[in-house]
Amino acid sequence: MSDLSSEEEAEEAEADLGEYDGERNSEGERHGRGKAFLPNGDIYDGEYEHGFRSGQGTYRFRNGACYIGKYLLNKKHGRGIFYYPDGSKYEGDWVNDQRHGHGVYTYANGDTYTGEWFNHNRHGQGRYIYKDTGAIYVGGWVNGNQEGEAEIIYLNHRFRGKFLNGNPVGHGKYIFDIGCEQHGEYIHSEQVK
């Protein structure tokens, strides 16, 4: 399941846009608490600093998405929760409008990923739970793909090995709950010709 298919829409820049009800500084900039009704139908209610969304705020998108969390210079930055229109949600760290750091993504189908993020991608160590099967992938991720040393835990067995682009590669083994092990080597099909 991709966490990139239902991305939030770009948030409106607010310089002199829409209606604003809130505090201003001596230069007339939005500064302090305020609520903005943007021309595109989005609504922001939260803190401003020198005309920028900065601090805690809630941004409601016209498409039904909603972000509740920290901002810095009009960008999601710090801890926050993003609710997507398809029912999925991300709760975790943001840097410069990107999921970045540690977070939990709950997909619309009930799958969950808990782990590290880098530039909006699952990247680093993480745990992915497949709701329909109960299988759990625990291991490395690179740019959104299962990669590196990992373990997949199934109902009555587990697989330990390496992954590349979401597929087992090289030496790996199945460990069954009854005590048996099956060792083998995974070879890409294009290599077997």
Q: Which residue has the tokens 């805690």?
A: 56
What are the sequence ranges of the domains in the chain?
Answer: 1-108, 126-193
Cα distances (angstroms) measured from residue 67 to each of 57, 71, 182: 8, 10, 47
Token pair of 169, please?
């590669």
pTM of the complete model: 0.87
pLDDT band at 7 (very low <50, low <70, confident <90, very high): very low
Cα distances (angstroms) measured from residue 66 to each of 39, 56, 99, 133: 17, 14, 15, 30
Give Dmax over CA atoms of the chain in angstroms: 74
% of residues, the chain, pLDDT over 70: 89
Per-position b or e across 110-121, b if 16+ CB within 10 A of its CB? ebbbbbbbbebb
Task: Identify the weakest region by mean pLDDT among 82-91, 114-123, 181-190.
Answer: 181-190
Cβ count near 106 (within 10 Å): 19
Architecture of domain 1-108: Single Sheet (2.20)
Token pair of 37, please?
């009704």
Say yes or no to pLDDT of 84 above 70.
yes
